[in-house]
Amino acid sequence: MEPLPDFWQRYEATPPSGASARMPDGRFLAMPLRDYGAIGVLGFIANQASFAVLRPICGWMAAAARGFGAEAVLGLPTLGHVFGPPVAEALGHPHWVAAGYSRKNWYDSAFSAPTSSSTAPDARRMWLDPRVLHRLRGRRVLLVDDVVSTGSSAHAGLALLATAGVRPVGLCVAMAQGDRWRAGWPGDVPVAAAFATPLFRRGDDGSWQADLASRADVILPGKDA
């Protein structure tokens, strides 16, 4: 089998051939364009990215979310676990909390919520470890994930925190992928991102064209909350 192009390994000073996203420092990151039929999106698989790519993104995420005054970070599974620890550390926290998809034998179903995502649509449950609930209760909690796209994973994160009696002060992601997630998203939970990308639609000639109006207005590094 022929190997796929090696995406997410380096930043470019100028736009590369093909699809790419512009970073806060003006550089570009080549990304695959995923064909979802009616729309296309730029894909980002964080656990396949190089450290050199991830390190600045974590810094940009922390900078974008710093104004929320978070006292704890909850990383959503699975790829939110790539960003939860470094973002929490950049915000000055001694640790973070990891939600998960696997149930340990001491878990309580009261602290779980159903979820699905655009890349893994099969229904499953997201869990909190009851032994670390004290890190979240009564604190200003920041939700962290890799991408917000349709919003299903982020809504599951809200529901999961609600089982612990917590309303997050914000959601922080590496990439805000279009604006489909905006419908139904609560106005009291602001969203911060390292960078934002639009949806893509087919032009008259059949080629993908960026729908710039679909690039969500989120809190970015250097943009006040």
pLDDT of residue 6: 87
pLDDT of residue 204: 87
Structure confidence by residue, pLDDT tens digits, 22-62: 999 999 999 999 999 999 999 999 999 999 999 999 999 99
Residue 2 pLDDT more than 90? no
pLDDT of residue 53: 98
- pLDDT more than 70, % of the chain: 94
DSSP-assigned letters across all residues of 4-42: PP--SS--BSSPPSS-EEE-TTS-EEE--EEE-SS-EEE
Q: How many CA atoms lie within 13 A of 97 on its CB side?
A: 26
Q: What is the C-alpha to C-alpha distance for residues 100 and 112, in angstroms, rounded to an integer?
A: 9
pTM for the full model? 0.93
- Of residues 6 and 191, more confidence is placed in 191
Do the Cβ atoms of 97 and 74 come closer than 8 Å? yes
Structure confidence by residue, pLDDT tens digits, 156-189: 999 999 999 999 999 999 999 999 999 999 999 9
pLDDT of residue 206: 87
Do the Cβ atoms of 40 and 207 come closer than 8 Å? no
Q: What is the DSSP letter of 104?
A: P
Query: What domains can be seen in the chain, in order of their start residue?
Result: 50-197 (3.40.50.2020)
pLDDT of residue 3: 55
pLDDT tier for residue 1 given thresholds of 50, 70 and 90: very low
Structure confidence by residue, pLDDT tens digits, 92-102: 999 999 999 99
Q: What is the C-alpha to C-alpha distance for residues 163 and 217, in angstroms, rounded to an integer?
A: 29
Task: Work out the average pLDDT over 55-76.
Answer: 98
